[in-house]
Amino acid sequence: MIEVRNITKSFDGKTILHDVSASFQTGKTNLIIGQSGSGKTVLVKSLVGLLRPEKGEILYDGRDILKMDQNQMKELRKEIGMLFQGSALFDSETVLGNVMFPLTMFTNMTYGEIKDRAQFCLERVNLKGADKKYPSEISGGMQKRVAIARAIALNPKYLFCDEPNSGLDPRTSILIDELLSDITHEYNITTIINTHDMNSVLGIGENIIFLNKGHREWVGDMHEIYQTSNEALNEFVFANDLFQKVRAYVLSNETTRKP
Ligand SMILES: Nc1ncnc2c1ncn2[C@@H]1O[C@H](COP(=O)(O)OP(=O)(O)OP(=O)(O)O)[C@@H](O)[C@H]1O
């Protein structure tokens, strides 16, 4: 679990995160949502140690990263997997080479062990047989799966995903969401997903943290979100007609099911 306690972050005297507290639970998909400019990226960058808040605590299973020295931080980074928005694959490396990369960089495993582990991860994301292809030869959804395989290669305890569905069609987005959710449960990972995608919010949001103008305004799950009376959250999630209809349908079913 990652716990954030009362963090405040400012730039040039302007406060971006106001006394934010939140917990990101182990074995669950933890989603950070909020309008553009609400501070999601600043929060994620603070969580991974790229930005330093002026105040507060960031505890990785009890270990405060704001009190760590460089070596401790380096050790912690080995426990963190990252999935970047544009997949960030190395174009000149094959699919297999991309997944082998972190294992070669950060472990003392033999070449054979590294190859086996990389192939296992590729199989886990249903990419068996694509090893020898280059990123330019596969679709955006497949590239994202390679990036997921690479992110889980070191068996991370914590997985950060930045807009995992950006640039993907709706069907592929759902497959990526399901994969991230399955991996989270299977390997008991604390997964943190920064997203704008309402399908993800309603489909895999087990612990949703809603930021509004740098304040943590609401926390709940994909079922509770339908019932929220928070105006800003309602406007954000149910902004379009389709999602309003989905909410009306869900709420009417819940009412009729009640004894
Ligand atoms: N390094 C920085 N220096 C100064 N201001 C910054 C810096 N990084 C972010 N900000 C400001 O912090 C605010 C929140 O930005 P942030 O990128 O966290 O928003 P976001 O919620 O991730 O938005 P989006 O959904 O568009 O990515 C913005 O007003 C941004 O200009």
> What CATH number has the domain bearing residue 85?
3.40.50.300
Give dist(CA 53, CA 40) in Å, integer. 14
Give dist(CA 28, CA 60) in Å, integer. 15
pLDDT at 194: 95
Residue 20 Cα to ligand 1 midpoint, Å, equals 15
Q: Whose CA is nearest to atom 1 of ligand 1?
A: 11
Residue 16 Cα to ligand 1 midpoint, Å, equals 8
Read off φ and ψ for residue 186, nearest 5 degrees: -60, -45
Structural domain includes residue 256: no
Give dist(CA 104, CA 90) in Å, integer. 14
Report the percent of the chain where pLDDT is more than 70: 98
What ipTM goes with this model?
0.97
Residue 21 Cα to ligand 1 midpoint, Å, equals 18
Query: Ligand 1 atom closest to Cα of 43?
Result: 18
Residue 234 Cα to ligand 1 midpoint, Å, equals 22
Structural domain includes residue 257: no
Q: 236, 210 in Cβ contact below 8 A? A: yes
Structural domain includes residue 152: yes
> How many domains does the structure of the chain reveal?
1
pLDDT at 258: 54
Structural domain includes residue 240: no
Note if the pTM is more than 0.95.
Answer: no
Structural domain includes residue 82: yes
CB-ligand 1 contact for 50 (6 Å cutoff): no
DSSP state of 69: -
- Domain range for 199: 2-224
Structural domain includes residue 249: no
The one-digit pLDDT tens for each residue of the chain (259 residues) are: 999 999 999 999 999 999 999 999 999 999 999 999 999 999 999 999 999 999 999 999 999 999 999 999 999 999 999 998 877 899 999 999 999 999 999 999 999 999 999 999 999 999 988 999 999 999 999 999 999 999 999 999 999 999 999 888 888 999 999 999 999 999 999 999 999 888 999 999 999 999 999 999 999 999 999 888 899 999 898 877 877 788 888 888 876 665 5
